[in-house]
Amino acid sequence: MDLYKKTASEIKELVLKKEIKSVEVTEDLFKRIDEVEPKIKAYLTLNKESALAQAKKIDEKIARNEKTGQLAGIPIALKDNLCTEGIKTTCASKILNNFIPPYDASVVKRIKEEDGIIIGKTNLDEFAMGSSTENSAFGPSRNPWDPARVPGGSSGGSAAAIAADLAFLALGSDTGGSIRQPAALSGIVGLKPTYGRVSRYGLVAYASSLDQIGPMTKDVRDAALFLNVLAGQDPADSTSVPLETPDHLEKISRGVKGLKIGVPKEFFVAGLDKEVKESIDQGLKVYEKLGAEISQISLPHTEHGIATYYLIAPSEASSNLARYDGIHYGHQTKSSKGLIDMYSQSRSEGFGDEVKRRIMLGTFSLSSGYYDAYYLRALKVRQLIKQDFDEAFKKVDVIMGPTSPIPAFKFGEKAANPLQMYLCDVFTVTTNLAGLPGISIPCGFTKSSLPIGLQILGRPFDETTLLQTAYAFEQKTEFHKTKPRI
């Protein structure tokens, strides 16, 4: 029946109209997964039995004409750094290889309350540290557009799952671009909400002041549908903001007439791939035709984004990851002499290279004698970056540019040089540092058929405008409908 090709919104409609059953959808999807997953490796854990059981329950609910949730009958994939009660949550790390959380993340709870169906946990760079999934302890995921290339990261498994029609909705987490960059590289929609919009409770922390959970979807409408469920204050997360959640679907087709779009000149610099640049220029033209006003702006501190990010994120990570010591849960070394040795052996064996690199970086920058020069300084630059955006948003409604400077790269191409890899985040990290919402949408392909992502950034808590802007583009283009041949 090829139901798997449909969007989440289409599936929901069909299920609610009783034209198909959620069980059929789920079965069809698992059939697709059986065929394609071996080539893509998007998932770390599949949850087939309980997914089917859940689908059956929802079908029964619908048959009884009971009120159903906003995600009724939709199969959903979760990045494996989101805690799921009774389902392994590994963060793609050996240190949590067999960790089964006794609780659900708040977003998982919401999905369940809204009758969504959890089908599995997707691959990621270990503890969400990376831009390619090559840092997964369980092997990388593959880009559905070219299996020799990375799907991006760290939410690469979720991106690949959506791109390859292995899920209808997926959750990712974005600390420095980890939703938007893989969305761009895999040709899907990825939305990073404003910091504080979505509860982080149950998201295994990488960098607490930057982490944010968000939807990864086949189109913009699905992203709006999913965000409606995810957003909202959570008493379990003190940093979640007590704001009313608007209905992001309601005014999604309002259009962009008169919308002021700012294009930061700092996003068009050396290192930006020529084909990516052309696609973005084409995309801006589409907006112009739709009646938006485009102007150049400046975000002068953009160049310090990477340096600032790679002090703040590792500092917080060094603290957040201190708990993985093999004492209470997770990997414990088999051979150790005494307590200190047990800590160091368990952690040496359990963590991968990139995680160790960032823990060391963070430990160093928080050490007495270095704190002021590194961590504190980074906090100050973070303020400057924030001010750049504050200034810009006095003049424009949204900011546009490339999500990633390059399209999907080959395995191993950047893995040997961490700094090269870090530069993948050059256009995305500042959004996290400023706490703003951002979305990446498909806006073209390279000559070799690799997807290109357009990034749109908005004012704090103005995901509505972001989604309207993205939706207007999608209505005029076909990029999101183009599917990879697997």
Piece in contact with another protein (CB under 8 A), picked from 32-40, 286-294, 322-330, 387-395: 322-330
Compute how many residues bind another protein; rule: CB under 8 A. Answer: 45
Tell which one of 57, 61, 99, 273 touches another protein (CB under 8 A). 99
The yes or no reply on residue 334 touching another protein (CB under 8 A) is no
Minimal distance, residue 208 CB to another protein, in Å: 4
Q: What is the DSSP code (8-state) at residue 425?
A: G
CA distance 220 to 162: 13
Minimal distance, residue 404 CB to another protein, in Å: 27
Minimal distance, residue 341 CB to another protein, in Å: 12
Tell which one of 20, 87, 91, 456 touches another protein (CB under 8 A). 91
The yes or no reply on residue 208 touching another protein (CB under 8 A) is yes
**Cβ contact 93:317 at 8 Å:** no
CA distance 101 to 438: 30
Q: Is 365 assigned a catalytic role?
A: no
**Cβ contact 187:479 at 8 Å:** yes
CA distance 462 to 154: 25
| CA atoms within a 13 Å half-sphere pointing along the CA-CB vector of 257 | 3
The yes or no reply on residue 296 touching another protein (CB under 8 A) is no
CA dist 376 to 221, 368, 373, 433, Å? 41, 11, 6, 14
Minimal distance, residue 465 CB to another protein, in Å: 26
The yes or no reply on residue 82 touching another protein (CB under 8 A) is yes
The yes or no reply on residue 98 touching another protein (CB under 8 A) is no
Task: Output 89 or 155, the one with its CB closest to another protein.
Answer: 89
CA distance 231 to 214: 9
Minimal distance, residue 42 CB to another protein, in Å: 22
Minimal distance, residue 80 CB to another protein, in Å: 11
The C-alpha angle 299, 186, 270, rounded to 5 degrees, equals 35
| Residues in a beta bridge with 170 | 77, 216
The yes or no reply on residue 327 touching another protein (CB under 8 A) is yes
Task: Output 235 or 412, the one with its CB closest to another protein.
Answer: 235
Q: Is 192 helix (H, G, I), strand (E, B) or coil?
A: strand
The yes or no reply on residue 343 touching another protein (CB under 8 A) is yes
The yes or no reply on residue 361 touching another protein (CB under 8 A) is no
Reported as type and span, the H/E element at residue 160 is: helix 156-163
- Write the Ramachandran bin of 249: left for phi over 0, alpha for psi from -120 to 50, otherwise beta: alpha
Considering only residues 62 to 81 of the shown chain, the ones binding another protein according to CB under 8 A are: 81
The yes or no reply on residue 83 touching another protein (CB under 8 A) is yes
The yes or no reply on residue 424 touching another protein (CB under 8 A) is no
Q: Is 481 assigned a catalytic role?
A: no
CA distance 211 to 170: 17
Piece in contact with another protein (CB under 8 A), picked from 69-77, 196-204, 290-298, 419-427: 196-204
430 CB neighbour count, 10 Å cutoff: 31
Q: Is 440 assigned a catalytic role?
A: no
CA distance 329 to 205: 16
The residues assigned a catalytic role are 79, 154, 178
For another protein, the binding residues (CB under 8 A) are: 81-83, 89, 91, 96, 99, 101-103, 105, 200-205, 207-209, 235-239, 315-316, 318-319, 322-325, 327-329, 339-340, 343, 363, 366-368, 371, 375
